[in-house]
């Protein structure tokens, strides 16, 4: 099996590439344009791996895509390449339309041409797995049931709208042209190598520096948190055994408000850094003006994934957060390097309350 992973140097993509190389005998071609949030060091173990190739390029480049498919002839595609930060989409939506909508269209067109040229049994085994987000479903009330595969779309931000559009394109290519597609929607991800504009690494970076930890509004937004390694395991199972044309929701049933989450992180830091001059770290929490159109609650019902494919998260939220804090403590130099590179442009501005696919 040879898999093309778009966005494979990103936070979730790199976790999937690592898992494929560690747990299967498959080959992986990583396609990534190495934008600001990509981190090639997350694929250090794959750098000289005989079953891995890195191709630097943009999914919007049709000529490049045709060359990649012609040279590597993938037997599956996992599409993770996306602009994914909500605040950036509010400030500049055009890049989100270019990558998430037009880029997905270019990839679908190239994939369809490649798939039509395959012969059986390769054609029947081929899969196109599109990785989406729970944000396309809009917001939930405090007592609403979690999102399900049948939940109607109601995107509220330019980011969510661009992902919704890409989802519709993928399903249309499956329905109209017969391309064997899979779609998955995940809740907020966290874990190692996450770019520090997102809530958890941003909060840890601020706390370690003794700086205010910004939370939107009152910090009462509710999110369903999923460790990135558990997400990667789910993606691999969906690719292996998912039904073509089916949609799967991936979540860990771990809802927390942003304030609860950050206070948990601060408590773990207090325990692991007893000599820190910033203890108790929770005193650094600072509330900032909410962003426009901020959805109050997301939650995922992963029953189909659990029932059909037997997937379950391997760790509780508490276990995952503790391991994540330890990882960032062990990688403080990396965190400081990124903050130094990007502060003044995006980081440290009270931005980044999400961990999107």
pLDDT, residue 84, reads 79
Residue 282 included in any domain: no
* C-alpha distance from residue 277 to each of 61, 210, 211, 274, 326 (Å): 50, 8, 12, 9, 18
Q: Provide the b/e sequence for 294-304 (b: ≥16 CB within 10 Å).
A: ebebbbbbbeb
Per-residue pLDDT tens for 23-38?
Answer: 999 999 999 999 988 9
User: Is 74 inside a domain boundary?
Assistant: yes
- Domain of residue 56, residue span: 2-191+225-254+293-314
Residue 33 lies in a domain: yes
Q: What is the pLDDT of residues 258-275, one digit of tens each?
A: 999 999 999 999 999 999
Whether 207 maps to a domain, the answer reads no
Rounded to whole angstroms, the Cα distance separating 315 from 227 reads: 8
pLDDT at 43 over 90: yes
8 Å CB contact between 236 and 311: no
CA distances in angstroms from 106 to 70, 155, 176, 269, 323, listed in the order given? 15, 23, 16, 45, 38
Report the distance separating Cα 353 and Cα 198, nearest Å.
6
With respect to residue 343, please indicate whether it lies within any of the assigned structural domains. no
Q: Which residues are catalytic?
A: 134-135, 159
pLDDT digits (tens, 9 = 90+) for 337-349: 988 887 644 444 3
Q: What is the pLDDT of residue 343?
A: 61
pLDDT digits 0-9 by tens, 264-323: 999 999 999 999 999 999 999 999 998 887 889 999 999 999 999 999 999 999 999 999
* Rounded Cα–Cα distance for residues 177 and 244 (Å): 13
Q: Is residue 72 classed exposed, middle or buried when 0-12, 13-18 and 19+ CB atoms within 10 A define those classes?
A: middle
Q: Is the pLDDT of residue 201 over 50?
A: yes
| Least trusted range by pLDDT, from 13-22, 78-87, 183-192 | 78-87
Is residue 276 a part of any domain in this protein?
no
pTM of the model: 0.94
Under the banding of pLDDT at 50, 70 and 90, the label for residue 351 is: very low
Query: In this structure, is residue 155 part of a structural domain?
Result: yes
pLDDT band at residue 95 using 50, 70 and 90 as cut-offs: very high
Distance, CA of 309 to CA of 268 (rounded, Å): 34
Per-residue pLDDT reduced to its tens digit, 176-191:
999 999 999 999 999 9
* 30, 52 contact by CB (below 8 A): yes
In sequence order, what DSSP letters do the residues of 234-278 get, joined into one string?
HHHHHHHHPPTT-EEEE--S-EEEHHHHHHHHHHHHHHH-TT-TT
Q: What's the CATH number where 26 sits?
A: 3.40.50.720
Distance CA 122, CA 292 (A): 47
**Is 52 among the domain residues?**
yes
Look at the chain and report how many structural domains it folds into.
Answer: 1
């Amino acid at each position: 099996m040879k898999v093309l992973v778009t966005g494979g140097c990103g936070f979730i993509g790199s976790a999937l590439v690592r898992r494929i190389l560690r747990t299967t005998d498959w080959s992986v071609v990583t396609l990534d344009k190495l934008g600001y949030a990509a981190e090639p060091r997350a694929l250090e173990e794959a750098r000289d791996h005989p079953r891995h190739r890195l191709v630097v390029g943009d999914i919007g480049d049709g000529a490049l895509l045709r060359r990649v498919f012609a040279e590597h002839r993938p037997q599956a595609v996992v599409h993770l390449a996306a602009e994914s930060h909500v605040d950036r989409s509010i400030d500049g939506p055009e890049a989100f339309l270019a990558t998430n909508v037009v880029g997905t269209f270019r990839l679908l067109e190239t994939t369809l041409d490649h798939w039509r040229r395959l012969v059986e049994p390769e054609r029947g085994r081929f899969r196109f797995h599109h990785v989406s987000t729970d944000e396309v479903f809009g917001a939930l009330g405090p007592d609403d049931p979690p999102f399900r595969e049948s939940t109607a779309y109601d995107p509220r931000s330019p980011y969510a709208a661009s992902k919704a559009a890409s989802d519709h394109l993928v399903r249309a290519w499956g329905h109209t042209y017969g391309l064997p597609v899979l779609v998955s929607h995940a809740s907020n991800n966290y874990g190692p190598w996450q770019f520090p504009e997102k809530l958890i690494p941003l909060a840890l970076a601020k706390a370690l520096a003794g700086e205010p930890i910004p939370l939107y509004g009152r910090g009462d937004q509710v999110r369903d948190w999923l460790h990135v390694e558990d997400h990667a395991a789910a993606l691999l199972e969906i690719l292996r055994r998912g039904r073509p044309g089916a949609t799967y929701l991936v979540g860990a049933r771990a809802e927390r408000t942003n304030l609860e989450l950050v206070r948990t992180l601060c408590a773990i830091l207090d325990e692991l850094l007893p000599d820190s001059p910033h203890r108790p770290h929770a005193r650094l929490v600072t509330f900032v003006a909410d962003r426009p159109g901020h959805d109050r609650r997301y939650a995922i019902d992963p029953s189909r994934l659990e029932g059909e494919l037997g997937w379950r998260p391997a760790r509780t939220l508490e276990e995952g957060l503790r391991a994540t804090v330890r990882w960032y403590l062990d990688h403080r130099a990396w965190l400081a390097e990124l903050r130094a590179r990007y502060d003044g442009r995006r980081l440290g501005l009270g931005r980044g309350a999400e961990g999107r696919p």
